[in-house]
């Protein structure tokens, strides 16, 4: 494993974090009805969390000698709250798996601080996925 592969992976993660923040802003803007109000309450704080992750990744990519991406990952645009949440859960699970790979890459190149921070991000993403799962169980 070399540092360049790690930077490339971190840039993929950064793109997904930027996309997630935009996705959550989009979803909270268009969600309607009682479930839409609940969705706004749940997702608005997560926007800031995604931005914080993106900010950390940008700083770290640059510190490692890379150029941070500014292009957010595209996302599916659902209009039904349940479909939004199902998609969000799918994306959270993908993010968790990607971050697990990044932890291994960071460890392989001796980036201990990065490894620890990525494990913290995994914990936050896992908490968010579990929250979405609980909400989805209540919508069935």
Q: Which domains does the chain have, with CATH numbers?
A: 3-139 (1.20.1260.10)
Tokens representing 112 are 């201990």
**CA 96/CA 119 separation, integer angstroms:** 10
**CA 139/CA 92 separation, integer angstroms:** 19
Show pLDDT as tens, one digit a residue, over the chain (140 residues).
699 999 999 999 999 999 999 999 999 999 999 888 989 998 999 999 999 999 999 999 999 999 999 999 999 999 999 999 999 999 999 999 999 999 999 999 999 999 999 999 999 999 999 999 999 998 86
- The DSSP secondary-structure symbol of 80 reads S
Tokens representing 61 are 């990519």
Number of helical (H) and strand (E) elements in the chain, helices listed first = 4, 0
**CA 128/CA 42 separation, integer angstroms:** 10
pTM of the model: 0.94
């Amino acid at each position: 494993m070399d540092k360049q592969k790690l930077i490339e992976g971190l840039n993929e993660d950064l793109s997904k974090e930027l996309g997630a923040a935009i996705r959550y802003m989009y979803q909270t803007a268009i969600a309607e009805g009682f479930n839409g109000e609940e969705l706004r309450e749940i997702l608005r704080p997560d926007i800031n969390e995604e931005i914080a992750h993106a900010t950390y990744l940008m700083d770290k990519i640059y510190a490692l000698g890379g150029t941070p991406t500014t292009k957010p990952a595209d996302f599916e645009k659902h209009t039904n709250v349940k479909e939004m949440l199902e998609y969000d859960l799918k994306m959270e699970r993908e993010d968790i798996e990607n971050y697990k790979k990044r932890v291994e890459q960071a460890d392989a190149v001796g980036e201990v601080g990065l490894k620890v921070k990525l494990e913290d991000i995994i914990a936050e993403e896992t908490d968010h996925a579990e929250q979405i799962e609980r909400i989805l169980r209540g919508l069935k």
